[in-house]
């Protein structure tokens, strides 16, 4: 097998080899190459010690020197070069007490999580595949290296990684590996929110976001996202729906583009349905106020998983507005754009379409037509350049001050009142008209 390593990777390996060391491309990049995908980064594993690596290359920096990782910079790209290592005893189910360097590639490959991630390659030795990784790639199987119970006991995050790789690759998890996840799910509680977030984002933005169902079925969501379990266990019994809240959520996730904010918004849009559920005299369920309550609950989940503020705000905004359906006219849609934010409106349209396509066929055509019309009116408002922000007004605070309005709160109040008029009547956004309007207001 020839893998066509990029010139820089080839170069790093050659330099290490000609100085008496072993070196291979390893892990994700080897896996992706065999799959015919373009690796997003290249990791190199070597028998050379970190100090020896640093001595051989002009530009390096210490990224994880205590774990044996040195980043070698070539043509502006960083390559992580890591010394062969064995992980010491894992005492807390999270990280090894210490790492020890080793001269054996086999030892280094053994500590890796899955067979498909435990292959190494260089041009001299070809593919080093000690655990049947290539066959598992071929068959589409995620299998722990060695005994899955032991491997997940060492590092509980590997359980979520198994599901993440199955979602990214569309692979099945081998039976013993899957059973071990079910048996040890509770131990995920030892893992930090940050590490869980990384794997969940990769899972939900993958080609198979529906694999979140297995995160639930194995018992993992219960540990960091019990609200999802509640959704899976919440029947809708309502003519608009044909699935449980959880199944509706899963279907809807697959109906938006694989972007973080959109996928998270779908994952969380109905999070409050279980707590907002009421049943009427006809046995139909209703979920009054679930978007507003849902935005609060979504924030709690995203904070728990340590998401950044921008992501959290954008997702919660979509959750809060996902079911807004004002009567469509220009005035209402302008108000809606202002409420949601012009920059979020396309996302909201995508959320609305995914939501209704994951519902029953009841009134589907009408619901789709509504969103289409909303989009048309949005587009025409944007094309017309209507005023949608106070700073789009043809007058500003300086004009008011010149008119004799004292500086301070009053300025903002007058501008806001003028803005409200202009939002309802965009043709008023003319400098002379607004100056006259302001004069009347401050009289």
The residues binding Mg ion (CB under 5 A) are 28
Query: Closer to Mg ion at the Cβ: 68 or 426?
Result: 68
Q: For residue 122, what are the β-bridge partners?
A: 126
**Minimum distance of ligand ATP from residue 297's CB (angstroms):** 29
Beta strands in 38-113 (DSSP E): 43-46, 60-64, 69-74, 77-83, 85-87, 99-101
Write each residue from 151 to 170 as x if it is in contact with ligand ATP (CB under 6 A), else as -, in one continuous string: ----x-xx------------
Should residue 143 be labelled a site residue for ligand ATP when binding is judged by CB under 6 A? no
Nearer to ligand ATP, 30 or 337 (CB): 30
Tell whether residue 199 is a contact of ligand ATP (CB under 6 A): no
Q: Least distance to ligand ATP from the beta carbon of 353, Å?
A: 29
Toward ligand ATP, which CB reaches closer, 157 or 196?
157
- Is there a contact between 50 and 18 (Cβ–Cβ < 8 Å)? no
Q: Which stretch binds ligand ATP (CB under 6 A): 109-117, 305-313, 340-348, 362-370?
A: 109-117
Cα dist from 219 to 209, 243, 442, whole Å: 17, 21, 64
State yes or no: residue 174 binds ligand ATP (CB under 6 A): no
SS (H, E, C) 319-377: HHHCCCCCCCCHHHHHHHHHHHCHHHHHHHHHHHHHHHHCCCCCCHHHHHHHHHHHHHH
Nearest CB to ligand ATP, comparing residues 43 and 129 = 43
What is d(CA 224, CA 157) in angstroms, rounded to the nearest whole number? 12
> Does residue 121 contact residue 30 with C-beta atoms inside 8 Å?
yes
Q: How far is the CB of 28 from Mg ion (least distance, A)?
A: 4
In whole angstroms, how close is the CB of 32 to Mg ion at the nearest point? 9
| # binding residues, ligand ATP (CB under 6 A) | 10
* DSSP code, position 194: H
Q: Which does 112 bind (CB under 5 to 8 A by kind): ligand ATP, Mg ion, none?
A: ligand ATP
Nearer to ligand ATP (CB atom), residue 167 or residue 256: 167
Residue 136: name its binding partner from ligand ATP, Mg ion, none (Cβ under 5 to 8 Å by kind): none
Residue 165 near residue 116, CB atoms below 8 Å: yes
Contact between 29 and 44 under an 8 Å Cβ cutoff? The reply is no
Can you tell me whether residue 212 is helix, strand or coil?
helix
| Closest distance to Mg ion from the beta carbon of 413 (Å) | 54
Q: How far is the CB of 216 from ligand ATP (least distance, A)?
A: 22
293 binds ligand ATP, rule: CB under 6 A: no
By CB under 6 A, residue 34 contacts ligand ATP: no
Helices (H), 170-225: 175-184, 193-204, 212-217, 221-224
Q: Taking CB within 5 to 8 Å according to partner kind, which of ligand ATP, Mg ion, none is near residue 155?
A: ligand ATP
The whole-angstrom separation of Cα 408 and Cα 75 is: 54
155 vs 174, which CB is nearer to ligand ATP?
Answer: 155
Q: Which does 113 bind (CB under 5 to 8 A by kind): ligand ATP, Mg ion, none?
A: ligand ATP
Q: Is 112 in the site for ligand ATP (CB under 6 A)?
A: yes
Q: Closer to ligand ATP at the Cβ: 136 or 386?
A: 136
Sequential DSSP letters for 222-280: HHH-HHHHHHHT----STT-SS-HHHHHHHHHTTS-S-HHHHHHHHHTTTTHHHH-EE-
Query: Binding to ligand ATP by residue 212, rule CB under 6 A?
Result: no
Q: Smallest distance, Å, CB 220 to ligand ATP?
A: 15
In this structure, the number of other CB atoms found within 10 A of the CB of residue 415 comes to 21
Q: Which is nearer to Mg ion, 40 or 391 (CB)?
A: 40
Q: Of ligand ATP, Mg ion, none, which one sits near residue 96, judging by CB under 5 to 8 A according to partner kind?
A: none
106: part of which helix (H) or strand (E)? helix 105-110
Q: Are 432 and 422 in contact (CB under 8 A)?
A: no
Closer Cβ to ligand ATP, 120 or 253, answer by number: 120
Rule CB under 6 A: is residue 93 a binding residue for ligand ATP? no
Task: Write out the two tokens for 265.
Answer: 């918004």
- Give the SS3 label for residue 99: strand
Q: Which residues bind ligand ATP (CB under 6 A)?
A: 27-28, 43, 112-113, 117-118, 155, 157-158
């Amino acid at each position: 097998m020839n893998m066509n390593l990029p010139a820089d990777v080839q170069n790093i390996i050659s330099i290490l080899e000609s100085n008496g060391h072993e070196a291979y491309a390893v892990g994700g990049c080897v896996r992706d190459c065999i799959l015919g995908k373009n690796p997003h980064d290249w990791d190199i594993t070597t028998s050379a010690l970190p100090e020896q690596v640093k001595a051989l290359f002009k530009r390096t920096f210490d990224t994880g020197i205590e774990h044996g990782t040195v980043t070698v910079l070539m043509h502006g790209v960083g390559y992580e070069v890591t010394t062969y290592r064995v992980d010491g005893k894992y005492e807390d189910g999270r990280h090894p007490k210490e790492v020890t360097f080793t001269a054996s590639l086999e030892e280094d490959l053994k500590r890796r999580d899955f067979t498909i991630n435990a292959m190494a390659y260089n041009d001299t030795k070809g593919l080093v595949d000690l655990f049947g990784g290539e066959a598992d790639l071929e068959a589409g199987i995620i299998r722990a290296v060695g005994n899955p119970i032991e491997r997940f006991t060492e590092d509980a995050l590997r359980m979520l990684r198994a599901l993440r790789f199955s979602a990214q690759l569309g692979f099945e998890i081998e039976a013993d590996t899957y059973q071990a996840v079910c048996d040890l799910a509770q131990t995920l509680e030892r893992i930090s929110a940050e590490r869980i977030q990384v794997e969940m984002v990769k899972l939900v933005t993958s080609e198979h976001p529906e694999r979140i169902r297995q995160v639930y079925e194995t018992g993992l969501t219960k540990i960091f996202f019990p609200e999802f379990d509640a959704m899976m266990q919440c029947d809708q019994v309502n003519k608009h729906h044909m699935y449980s809240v959880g199944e509706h959520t899963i279907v809807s996730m697959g109906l938006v583009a694989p972007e973080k904010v959109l996928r998270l918004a779908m994952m969380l849009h109905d999070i409050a349905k279980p707590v907002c559920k009421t049943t009427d005299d006809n046995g139909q369920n209703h979920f009054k106020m679930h978007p507003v309550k849902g935005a609060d609950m979504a924030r709690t989940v995203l904070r728990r998983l340590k998401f950044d503020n921008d992501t959290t705000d954008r997702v919660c905004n979509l959750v809060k507005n996902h079911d807004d359906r004002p009567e469509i006219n220009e005035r209402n849609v302008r108000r809606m754009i202002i409420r949601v934010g012009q920059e979020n409106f396309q996302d909201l349209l995508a959320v609305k379409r995914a939501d209704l396509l994951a519902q029953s066929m009841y009134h589907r055509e009408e619901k789709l037509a509504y969103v289409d019309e909303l989009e048309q009116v949005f587009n025409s408002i944007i094309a017309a350049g209507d005023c949608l922000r106070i700073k789009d007004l043809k007058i500003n605070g300086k004009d008011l001050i010149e008119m004799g309005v004292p500086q301070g709160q009053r300025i903002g109040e007058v501008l806001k009142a003028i803005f409200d008029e202009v939002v309802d009547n965009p043709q008023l956004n003319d400098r002379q008209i607004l100056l006259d309007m302001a004069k009347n207001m401050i009289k």
